[in-house]
Chain A
Amino acid sequence: MAIRRILIANRGEIAARVIRTCKTLGIETVLAASEVDLHSLPARLADRTLCIGPARPAESYLRVDTIVQAALGVEADAIHPGYGFLSERAALARLCEEEGVTFIGPTSAQIDAVGDKLHARDEAAAAGVPIAPGGPVGTVGEAMVLGREIGAPLLLKAVGGGGGRGMKFVERVEDLPDAFALAAAEAGAAFGDARVYLERFVRHGRHVEVQILGDGKGGVVHLGERDCSVQRRYQKLIEETPAPVLSDELRSRIHAAGVRFAERLSYRGAGTVEFLVDLERDAFYFLEMNARIQVEHPVTEAVTGVDLVAEQISIAEERRLRLAAKDIRREGSAIECRINAEDPARDFHPSPGTVHAVVWPAGEGIRVDTHIVSGAHVPPFYDSLMAKIIVHGADRSSALERLRLAISQTHVEGVATNLSFHAEVLADPEFERGGVDTSYVPRFLQRRRLPQESYADG
């Protein structure tokens, strides 16, 4: 079944990104936009824009019925959900299935399977994918027994959480009773599901994830890994591929684990299997699967030359995978910086407003995915991502050099950005060595607050 018209149920840079691929494929695009996004760059790029509601996401981008009605109303063959918003809501995939609209993503059953983090953990175990020691805990008593068995420190995680949400750190086993009560209550309030599970807390871990494509007919390939350890409060800021300072043996095992997990689900679409690499034990554990295109997908595209959105569309057209493992070659090194409207001087406080002037970098090996042009608005209702600057080089050091130059060429007026933070991290010897763990950013920020440390000026 050929897709001729796609409704894009998203905004910002990813909407512009999806439209770009649709244009190259000759597919018509209809953008479902909120009132404040009617004059955005994606609205100008799309063949048609529909106003789906007011700015507040709950009244526009998060309305499943409105999105499907819009798709039916314009006779779109398919809906591309982007990331965030409704991309991992089984309800949208299910309504699409009922109404005969193609959902560009996994089946509703697959979204359910990976959305329940405990279920996903069980699937991982069944697929022979390593999971961190732990398990479900229904009572304080159970938590204490399991907690003593695993040993502190521990993490209490909400079954309905994910992406860093709904987690509680437990330093000592004695702290478990209080933490358990709080975690269950918070999980119930935030996700409507009070179930929690306990896992070993990995003190020095790296976030390494595997890009997967599956055709839903059993075919699964991986397109290598991405290291996303440069995070602040679970928000990724810099991502790169290949993961630096990782043995080829461990790298291959991580790839194979990602493929096994997706094969177990007979996964359809683009997805990412996330792992935590335990540096102290030289082991890795399954974290979760993200059943959508990810923000950081361009670094994978840079080294493989594969257009992941085009592959998503091809899979949605019920084709078998067009790429075999032997066809996927990864060349060089790619790094991405997320440019957010956040002020590092004010604890990364969001800084919405109007961008009076902007200059994005350009040149060999530089790609900028953005919806921000001079005069664009950064509304306060949505996330603060303004652009992704992606560089590709023959190796990590040349990519890094290119990225430093690209960041220095970038100029944004009107809103505060985290550009200075990126410039400092890229100049930091620890980051330059590669292989930092997920506690790097807080440590880095702490270090640069100390006046005697002056390297941060460099």
Chain B
Amino acid sequence: MTLTAKDVAEIMRLLEESSFDSLSLEMDGVKLKFQRGSAPAMPPAPDPPALAAPGAAAVASPAKPKTQIKPATEPGLAEVACPLLGIFYRAPKPGEQPFVEVGSKVGEDTVIGIVEVMKLMNSVRAGVKGEVVEILCNNGALVEYGQILLRVRLEA
């Protein structure tokens, strides 16, 4: 059995959609290693249609998880980390506009997404002031505590 170019493309697509960072594959003496690049994980492409939390609008969790801000490697950039494990949604409802896009201006209290934990919707706030330069998490994906959701260019 050999791998066709189509197979490789399919594997790359699967990896892209998964929340794994790398995939090693070994078969019939062929060794392949796929890794998410450090380049933007997703192009700022149009979002998939089902782009929001199922059900009604976001219900704020009683215990508000505090957004963590991590200094990014590049000066002037901040990384917005996910404050809890759950399913990440970029828009308040299916079919609605995402909370933020690349280029959006955010303030500390700007809601940038929703994390669902067993049907409880938790709003995630930016925690910093600036402009969104990168969105690192897919809609509907499982996000971990501390996972980087966005990169924001800080406003001076």
Contact = CB atoms under 8 A, between A and B. Distances in A.
Nearest to A54: B145
Contacts of B117: 65-66, 69
A73 B85 CA distance: 10
Interface string B143-156: 01111000000000
B144 A68 contact: no
A52 interface: yes
Nearest to A49: B144
Chain B contact surface mostly: loop
B144 A52 contact: yes
Contacts of B116: 69
A432 interface: no
A394 interface: no
Contact of B120 (A35, A65, A95): A65
A54 B145 CA distance: 8
Given A65-B117, A66-B117, A68-B118, A53 B85 contact: yes
B142 to A, nearest CB: 3
B146 A66 contact: no
A66 B85 contact: yes
Interface in B85-102: 85-87
A69 B86 contact: yes
Nearest to B63: A59
A213 to B, nearest CB: 31
Interface size class of B (residues with CB under 8 A): 10 to 19
B84 interface: yes
Contacts of A45: none
A66 B87 contact: no
A74 interface: yes
A48 B20 contact: yes
Interface in A47-80: 48, 50-54, 60, 65-66, 68-70, 73-74
Contacts of B84: 53, 66
Interface string B6-42: 0000000000000010000000000000000000000
A70 B20 contact: no
A69 B118 contact: yes
Contacts of A70: 85, 142
Contacts of B144: 50-52
Interface string B119-150: 01000000000000000000000101111000
Contacts of A52: 85, 144-145
Contact of A53 (B87, B142, B145): B145
Contact of B118 (A35, A53, A60, A65): A65
A74 B118 contact: no
B68 to A, nearest CB: 10
Given A66-B84, A69-B117, A51 B142 contact: no
Shortest Cβ-Cβ A-B pairs, 3 listed: A73-B142, A65-B118, A51-B144
27 contacts: A35-B145, A35-B146, A50-B142, A50-B144, A51-B85, A51-B144, A51-B145, A51-B146, A51-B147, A52-B85, A52-B144, A52-B145, A53-B145, A54-B145, A60-B145, A65-B117, A65-B118, A65-B120, A66-B84, A66-B85, A66-B86, A66-B117, A68-B118, A69-B86, A69-B87, A74-B142, A95-B118
Given A73-B85, A73-B142, 15 more contacts: A35-B146, A50-B85, A50-B142, A53-B84, A54-B145, A65-B118, A65-B120, A66-B85, A66-B117, A68-B118, A69-B87, A69-B117, A70-B85, A73-B86, A74-B142
